[in-house]
Copies of this chain bind each other. A is one copy, B any other.
Amino acid sequence: MAAILRGSRCLAEKCHNHVNAAQVSIRSMASKTQVGFIGLGNMGNPMAKNLMKHGYPVIASDVFPESCKELRELGAQILDSPADVADKADRIVTMLPSSPNVIDVYTGPNGILKRVKKGSLLIDSSTIDPAVSKEMAVAAEKLGAVFMDAPVSGGVGAATSGKLTFMVGGPEEEFNAAKELLSCMGANVVYCGQVGTGQAAKICNNMLLAIGMIGTAETMNLGIRLGLDPKLLAKILNMSSGRCWSSDTYNPVPGVMEGVPSANNYQGGFGTTLMAKVCFVFTFTPVPLGSLAHQIYRMMCARGYASKDFSSVFQFLREEEGQ
């Protein structure tokens, strides 16, 4: 009967995926049933804990057994492989480092899709190529499951405090089901459009951030050279049209703000090497500043800044004394 209900909705809505609607509704009705979680790294671990805090039993897996220890002690069930998790849970969140990991966790020999249940909701919060998200969605759909991309904005701090922003792509009719879980882990859950648009939104934000940070670093360096006090300059920019997140929230100049990497010798934060590895070049659209920003982060990596926070571009561009 479930199949029938589902089928009728599909007919009615000209839907593009064949997920069983009844199972979807079972998912919703029994919402505090177990949730799968694959990838218990720096981000995934606190995210899974927040799911548990909200009353969801978690069934987790990670390639590194030691990563599972903390969650196991908190009562999560730890299984050997993504396939095992898919066998037990029909809602699964994945949080993985890169596209190849996602491909493996979903389509590999012990991957989710090997044993995924019809009607399952698969939410990938990894930051990857939108084209890979689309491929995973097609593969999942063939097995009657729904794949959504939901990359996050915010770092380990936001993951711990449940203040992440999720940018979600996938079938609009599944968004509420995804939001139910994601809102346990984030303060904002934004629907972006069809599958892949979550990744697209994240790429866009990262590119503008990459530009804004270097622009801010250049501007602060220039102003200091021209005789301005850095705190005062930041204040002026922030009340004017030069204002941006890098100037008012994450200022790259030591001494201007507290609680940011520039106040701590550029430790922590978002590594320059990550910024350099982000690829902006998915389309034929001209992105001259985005592209140059990318190259500058690469130059920084070549000159020893790889593991510092990306705001250390201020230091990289700063003239040494006596010149």
Contact = CB atoms under 8 A, between A and B. Distances in A.
**For the complex, would chain A's binding face be called helix, strand, loop or mixed by DSSP majority?**
helix
A319 B285 contact: yes
A302 to B, nearest CB: 5
Contacts of A283: 222, 225-226
B288 A241 contact: no
A208 B201 CA distance: 23
Interface residues on A, range: 35 or more
Contacts of A244: 208, 212, 243-245
A247 B209 CA distance: 12
Q: For A203, A216, A240, which residue has the most chain B Cβ atoms within 10 angstroms?
A: A240
A291 interface: yes
Given A218-B290, A303-B303, A226 B240 contact: no
A203 B226 contact: yes
Contact of A237 (B205, B229, B281, B302): B205
Given A286-B317, A287-B295, A289-B214, A201 B302 contact: no
B284 A323 contact: yes
A319 B215 CA distance: 24
Interface in A276-305: 276-277, 279-296, 298-299, 301-304
A193 interface: yes
Interface of A: 130, 153, 165, 167, 188, 190, 192-194, 196-197, 200-201, 203-209, 211-212, 214-216, 218-223, 225-229, 232-233, 235-237, 239-247, 249-250, 276-277, 279-296, 298-299, 301-304, 306, 316-320, 323
